[in-house]
Chain A
Amino acid sequence: MTLAPITVRICYLYPRLLSVAGDRGNLFALMQRCAWRGIGCSVTEADAGEVPDFSQSDLILVHGGQDREMTAAAQDLASKAGPLREAIESDAVVLAVCAGYQLLGQSYTPPAGPPLQGLGVLDVITYGGPKRFIGHVAAECELNGRRHHLAGFENHSGRTYLEGNARPLGRLLAGSGNNGEDGTEGARYREVYATYLHGPVLPKNPWLADHLLSRALAHRYQDFGPLAPLTDHTERQAQAAALRLARRPARRWRAAAAAVSRMRRPVRVPALAGREAGVAADPIADKESGWTSP
């Protein structure tokens, strides 16, 4: 006899159109964390031109993309807008990353060209800026009265400003976040969680992955209890490393510190060029000092 398994239904939006820099790792994280707990997981992919049944989705993923792909996605999203909005208003869970985040907002105005209309479920407005925000990010989030660290990597030129009903997902400890000005990162509305963090964000922030899963299970099964805990040793190590990277001094200060330590290093002669010294003197160090940023 087989028991009807508990299953969470995931809808993966634009897996080909909006998929950059390993974002599918978020799907892997959700699937594995279900599998490790014996929870079933069904994944429906919906690319441009395909309209999934959002009323059968507990958790919807939409990720980042480059400007061209985002324009194509914005045009396609119009055909999905009604049912997707309905699902969100009935508390389906959504993780939206980068371009996906911008598309759920009111509008995105690129540096050149006409503004793109978003889905409008998040009360945020995005403008394309002249400079990209690229680097590690650390933020602090409060969910259900508990504080969590959020770590990841951002790479975006959009500046997003929160208005009206949108709350930030977190407060920045390091990095640029929504706009590089107001110290906020990401946005929340009902069960929508939007962020600029790639990396991908869920594997190294397992608390967020589990929060999405438990909200998705609550969306499907009214009386679903708390998730079984997992041994998240590797995850915690990875998050701690990412937080350290986000909070280290800026590159030019690191370069200056490295230069000072090179000057202080005693002169090496071949006989003394020990194992570690040999590694440190590898010409990569020359490359580093000679690198001119494009």
Chain B
Amino acid sequence: MRLMNSAPPAGSLDDGATAPPGAHARLALALAAGKAAGTASKVLRAGGGTSFPGAVASRIDPRILQKVAAASDAHMVVVTGSNGKTTTCRMLAALARAEGLRVTQNRSGSNLLQGVISAAVRGTDLHGRMDAQLLLLEVDEGTVRLVTPQAQPDTFLITNIFRDQLDRFGELYSMARGLEAVIEALPTTATVILNGDDPLVASLAPDAPARRLYFGIRDETAGAAAPEHAADTIRCVHCQHPLTYRAAYLSHLGDYQCPECGQGRPALDIAVTTVRPSPLAGSEITVETPAGAYSLQVPLPGLHNVYNAAAALACAVAQALPRPPEPAQARRAMAGLRPAFGRLEQIQAGDRRVLLAFVKNPTSYNTTMREILQRPGRKHVLAAHSNTVVDGEDFAWLWDVELEQLVPQLESLTISGTRAEEVALRFKYAGADPAIMRVIPGREAALQAALTGIPAGESLHIFAGYTPMRELRSIMQRRAWVAPFWQE
């Protein structure tokens, strides 16, 4: 991990030798206070301290992340993008642990600045030393340019860019420009891993000095002929002409080419060459990498998880691990994964079952919905969205979700959250029968009502934004249906 010296914050102190005597004491105090805050919030059951310790520690020492990063020689991986950050990080951590590496990571989707600092506080002793060999950080795509000037990653991965919370980021392209600035600041020793199937991601900062690797899918039988409706970047980023696809795998991700200027998908360094349904669960895939071919079972369903696996393997073979993972070991590690909390997590709720899906944009919603629609039977659904700083204020994207496909299979529909009225309106115009629709803003009451109407042995499908998903999960946690997310 390297310290970036080019742009220290105005009025800040220098590190190391020139630091005044108080600087180390301040760091130690900040780390101690952060750790105490983490313990306190766990003991008080306030939620496992996934971002509170960072808030406390950085209040005492604003440059804590920079200092910890500078003192450590752990390999630092930063994962950003619209979708798949959490699952990709879990996959990479599993690959690393299978190789015997110690990993520190920010978990549970705590990917804003305080969550990142919390991970650093947790992974560091009071002298600022880090025990882990791999520091793995998933960082919100809007926050990443606040993190990298303080702690520069050795490996920087961008999973994809979808239309995600436009009201927070302004336009898609201004967020892309922010990511370009991050890539351009990386030195030649760093590696940038980009989704080659995403036209916007693949085109970011083409002249940056860092090493560049592309991952993607090269199995045309797994794709469709044209992108679905919610596709975001389907025009050429260079000349604006509509792109043509040899295969569209997931929304705008695929093997694309511009018929006007000829710009197409770059050559893939890490390519998924076969995707087959696995007889066990999920997909059976072959991935060709510069370090040889890997045959993996991805136990999580859907092509989005194939992308996540390819991204994680790309990091592992690039340089995040001291040597490329041993193929049989990697296969075992990947096959042993369980979904991240809230990612279509199965929860036994007494004699009923809950399937909890975290949805935050048209792509994640459509992908999860399709998984559920493939299962037989009519569906009991609880849909919950709230306006918070994390979830955004604008829920217009709900109108890009293909809820018309879900509505014919609905048996009951409960709607909750602080934006319940907006969700109800969307379902009404998707054709939902008002007679089966209940609007109950309170999360606990909504969960209770939704479960009450379900016969024993059947499932409740929950589609929820980040905040209501956490709230519903903590209700289920108090009922001892699930373990707290920080114990995962």
Minimum CB–CB distance for A119 against chain B, Å: 20
Q: Which residues of B contact A (CB under 8 A)?
A: 41, 43-52, 54-55, 110, 112-115, 142-143, 145-146, 163, 166-173, 178, 234-235, 240, 242, 387-390, 393-394, 396-400, 419, 421-422, 424-426, 428-431, 434, 439, 443-444, 466-467, 470-471, 474-475, 478
Residues of chain A with a CB closer than 8 A to B172's CB: 66
Does the CB pair B424–A153 fall under 8 Å? Answer: no
Number of A-B residue pairs with CB-CB distance less than 8 Å in the complex they form: 177
Contact A287 B390 (CB under 8 A): yes
A20 within 8 Å of B by Cβ? Answer: yes
Count A interface residues, CB 8 Å.
Answer: 58
Residue from B45, B115, B167, B400 in contact with A273 in the complex, judged by beta carbons closer than 8 Å: B45
Task: Give me 16 A-to-B residue pairs in the complex whose CB atoms sit less than 8 angstroms apart, sorted by A's number.
Answer: A16-B234, A21-B396, A25-B399, A25-B426, A32-B431, A69-B235, A203-B426, A235-B425, A276-B444, A282-B47, A283-B41, A286-B114, A287-B51, A287-B112, A287-B389, A291-B389
- Tell whether, in the assembled complex, residue A237 and residue B424 are in contact, meaning their CB atoms are under 8 Å apart: yes
- CA A67 to CA B426, docked complex, whole Å: 28
Known: A153-B393, A284-B467. A25 touches B429 (CB 8 A): yes
Comparing A163-171, A185-193, A212-220, A238-246, the segment that makes contact with chain B is A238-246
Question: Contacts A238-B425, A287-B112, A291-B112 hold; do A25 and B396 have CB atoms under 8 A apart?
Answer: yes
- Please tell me if the beta carbons of B112 and A273 are within 8 angstroms of each other in the complex: no
Contacts of A268 in B (CB 8 A): 44, 46
Q: Are B396 and A28 in contact (CB under 8 A)?
A: no
Most B-side CB within 10 Å, residue of A279, A281, A287: A287
Given contacts A237-B439, A245-B393, A278-B45, 20 further A-B contacts (CB under 8 A): A22-B398, A22-B400, A23-B396, A25-B399, A71-B240, A134-B167, A203-B426, A235-B428, A238-B422, A240-B421, A241-B422, A268-B44, A270-B45, A279-B443, A281-B47, A282-B474, A283-B51, A287-B115, A288-B390, A290-B112
Asked if A29 CB lies within 8 Å of chain B CBs, one says yes
Kindly list chain B residues whose C-beta atoms are within 8 Å of the C-beta of A281: 44-47
Q: Which residues of A contact B (CB under 8 A)?
A: 16-17, 20-25, 28-29, 32, 48, 66-69, 71-72, 132, 134-136, 153, 155, 157, 198-200, 203-204, 234-235, 237-238, 240-242, 245, 268-270, 273, 275-276, 278-279, 281-284, 286-292, 294
- Knowing A203-B429, A275-B444, A287-B389, the reply to whether A21 touches B397 (Cβ < 8 A) is yes
Docked pose: A231 CA to B466 CA in angstroms: 32
Q: Give A288's nearest chain B residue, CB to CB.
A: B389
Contacts of B52 in A (CB 8 A): 283, 286
- How far in angstroms is the closest Cβ of chain A from B446? 12
Residues from chain A with Cβ under 8 Å of B419 in the complex: 241
Most buried by B among A242, A275, A294: A294
CB distance from A136 to the nearest CB of B (A): 7
Q: A153-B167, A241-B421, A294-B178 are in contact. Are A282 and B46 (CB under 8 A)?
A: yes
Q: Which residue of A lies closest to B146 (CB)?
A: A292
- The chain A residue with its CB closest to the CB of B420 is A241
Using known A-B contacts A282-B46, A290-B51, determine if residue A275 contacts B478 with beta carbons closer than 8 Å.
yes
Residue of B nearest to A197 (CB): B396
Alpha-carbon separation in the docked complex, A288 to B393 (Å): 13
Give chain B nearest CB distance to A229 CB in angstroms.
Answer: 16
Check A286 against B51 for contact (C-beta < 8 Å). yes
A71 to B171, CA, bound (A): 15
| Closest chain A residue to B43, Cβ basis | A270
Given contacts A32-B429, A134-B167, whether A238 and B421 have CB atoms under 8 Å apart is yes
